[in-house]
Amino acid sequence: MSHDGRSVIAKFRALYGEEPLLFSAPGRVNLIGEHTDYNEGFVLPMAIERRTWIGGRARPDRRIRVHSLDFAEEGELDLNERGRARRGGWSDYIEGMARALDERCGGLQGADLVIGSEIPIGAGLSSSAALEVGVGFALAQLNDHEIGKEELARIGQWVEHEYVGNLCGIMDQLTVALGRAGHAMLIDCRSLEVRYIPFRIERAAVVICDTGVKHELAGTEYNLRRAECERGVELLRRHLPGVHALRDVGMDEFRRYEARLPEPIRRRCRHVVAENARTLAAAAALERGEVEAFGHLMNLSHDSLRDDYEVSCEELDLMVEIARAHDGVWGARMTGGGFGGSTVVLVRGDAVADFSAYVRAEYERRTGRAARVYLVEASDGVRREAL
Ligand code: GAF
């Protein structure tokens, strides 16, 4: 079930008898540039107009009390007490963020928070990054503490690594923090420089198709891919000593040395090297409004994630196959970490309604599962909402 700002305010009033300050953080969809962020490469995501909403007020003590509408649960922590062990649930993100900010701000006051989200959980649309960055932003504002959005993103990533055990890159947190309405973001994941590119491919729409599955192995396989890339760098450095990350390897260089890499390292590296080049080419195509070229690069990206990087799954491949068979589609690929979650599809604007009905019917016919299909637009990053 989805919860928006109004439900968060209503719950806050019911619990505390007063109006909260309201904050929100968006989900994200990655258009292209998958599994490149932790290789210091390029990504091209955008924040989407489905948000996590946080109502809050400061408390005089150091307790943080949270009501989650999505999980219909309460959680509480006291910053004066030692951190507790990871529980494997939503409260880990909040505890991690609160403790990291407490340390960084040299002492945080407590807060009462109510949280609700419109971002489907497990759909690969970064509901966890929205929670981290949104809660961090809310706590900083309730404490009158100035903190840069890039820094919030870095703290969110730290929480994923240290509290959640997911060795993610920086793309999700940075997109949630720095998104801009009407724009895709070309992010250089080494310098963290962001180039905002107006999403103005005429007559084109971005549609997300959620497969409704999330396979268990997502976390372990993700960390394994990261290790495989690091091994690839170690081996390539024997021939190319200037290489610090796969970002530093061009396709020609890679071709020269790929035979020296064992499988599956060779295919993993090939995906990353090619995906970086595709992402830069896609950004240029977007700037020129070249919709066919953009769609073609999306298709190549998916095929490489399926065959070389092996992070797709049956349901994602089927969802992509179904999309590509529709004549209003320019390109379709999985988006996010993989092993379930969603695809992103570039669709002719006047074909969106027909495409959505067709995908729902066809996916259900072939899998017996319901597909959720959303038309999305590029949105702003984390912000305080005017009430
Ligand atoms: C997940 C991670 F959180 C990101 O950092 C990124 O690596 C992505 O998978 C794959 O591109 O969303």
3-state per-residue secondary structure call for the chain: CCCCHHHHHHHHHHHHCCCCEEEEEEEEEEEECCCCHHHCCEEEEEEEEEEEEEEEEECCCCEEEEEECCCCEEEEEECCCCCCCCCCCHHHHHHHHHHHHHHHHCCCCCEEEEEEECCCCCCCCCHHHHHHHHHHHHHHHHCCCCCCHHHHHHHHHHHHHHHHCCCCCCHHHHHHHHCCCCEEEEEECCCCCEEEEECCCCCEEEEEEEEEEECCCHHHHHHHHHHHHHHHHHHHHCCCCCCCCHHHCCHHHHHHHHHHCCCCHHHHHHHHHHHHHHHHHHHHHHHHCCHHHHHHHHHHHHHHHHHCCCCCCHHHHHHHHHHHCCCCEEEEEEECCCCEEEEEEEEEHHHHHHHHHHHHHHHHHHHCCCCEEEEECECCCCEEECC
- In Å, the largest CA–CA distance within the chain is 68
- Ligand 1 centroid–CA 165 distance in Å is 14
To the question of whether residue 258 is assigned a binding role by annotation, the answer is no
Q: Is 196 exposed, middle or buried (0-12, 13-18, 19+ CB in 10 A)?
A: middle
What's the pLDDT band for 99 if we cut at 50, 70, 90?
very high
For the CA of 33, the closest atom of ligand 1 is 11
pLDDT digits (tens, 9 = 90+) for 337-383: 999 999 999 999 999 999 999 999 999 999 999 999 999 999 999 99
For ligand 1, atom 2, the nearest C-alpha belongs to 168
* Higher local confidence (pLDDT), 86 or 363: 363
Q: Which of 160, 171, 175 is the pocket-test mutation for ligand 1 (most atoms within 8 Å of CB)?
A: 171
Question: What rounded mean pLDDT belongs to the chain?
Answer: 95
pLDDT at 85 (0 to 100):
67
66, part of any domain: yes
For ligand 1, atom 1, the nearest C-alpha belongs to 337
What's the pLDDT band for 165 if we cut at 50, 70, 90?
confident
pLDDT at 219 (0 to 100):
81
pLDDT digits (tens, 9 = 90+) for 177-221: 999 999 999 999 999 999 999 997 778 999 999 999 988 777 889
CA angle 123, 345, 186 (to 5 degrees): 85
172 is annotated as an active-site residue: yes
- Ligand 1 centroid–CA 305 distance in Å is 13
- Number of domains comprising the chain: 1
331, part of any domain: no
- Compute CA distances 61 → 13, 64, 95, 156, 167, whole Å: 21, 9, 16, 24, 33
pLDDT at 152 (0 to 100):
97
99, part of any domain: yes
CA angle 119, 185, 178 (to 5 degrees): 60
- Ligand 1 centroid–CA 136 distance in Å is 20
Q: Which of 28, 35, 190, 311 is the pocket-test mutation for ligand 1 (most atoms within 8 Å of CB)?
A: 35
Question: Distance (Å, rounded) from C-alpha 33 to C-alpha 37?
Answer: 8
Contact residues of ligand 1, CB 6 A cut-off = 34-35, 37-38, 168-169, 171-172, 336-337
- Ligand 1 centroid–CA 56 distance in Å is 29
Q: Is 90 exceeded by the pLDDT of residue 269?
A: yes
> CB-based contacts of 368: which residues, under 8 Å, 6+ apart?
none
For the CA of 124, the closest atom of ligand 1 is 12
Q: Is 90 exceeded by the pLDDT of residue 315?
A: yes
Residues 321, 295 contacting (CB under 8 angstroms): no
55, part of any domain: yes
- Ligand 1 centroid–CA 111 distance in Å is 30
Q: How many CB atoms lie within 10 A of CB 220?
A: 11
Query: Cα-flanking dihedrals φ and ψ of residue 341, to 5°?
Result: 90, -140
347, part of any domain: no
Tokens 């604007």 sit on residue: 349
Q: What is the pTM of this model?
A: 0.96
pLDDT at 307 (0 to 100):
98
Q: Which of 166, 168, 316 is the pocket-test mutation for ligand 1 (most atoms within 8 Å of CB)?
A: 168
373, part of any domain: no
For ligand 1, atom 5, the nearest C-alpha belongs to 169
pLDDT digits (tens, 9 = 90+) for 33-79: 999 999 999 999 999 999 999 999 999 999 999 999 999 889 999 99
Domain that holds residue 153: 5-198
218, part of any domain: no
To the question of whether residue 371 is assigned a binding role by annotation, the answer is no
124, part of any domain: yes
Q: Is 70 exceeded by the pLDDT of residue 231?
A: yes
To the question of whether residue 16 is assigned a binding role by annotation, the answer is no
Catalytic residue among 70, 102, 112, 172: 172
Pairing mode, strands 111-117 and 63-68: parallel
For ligand 1, atom 9, the nearest C-alpha belongs to 337
pLDDT digits (tens, 9 = 90+) for 104-143: 988 999 999 999 999 998 899 999 999 999 999 999 999 9
Residues 311, 221 contacting (CB under 8 angstroms): yes
- Ligand 1 centroid–CA 166 distance in Å is 10
CATH number of the domain that residue 43 is part of:
3.30.230.10
To the question of whether residue 332 is assigned a binding role by annotation, the answer is no
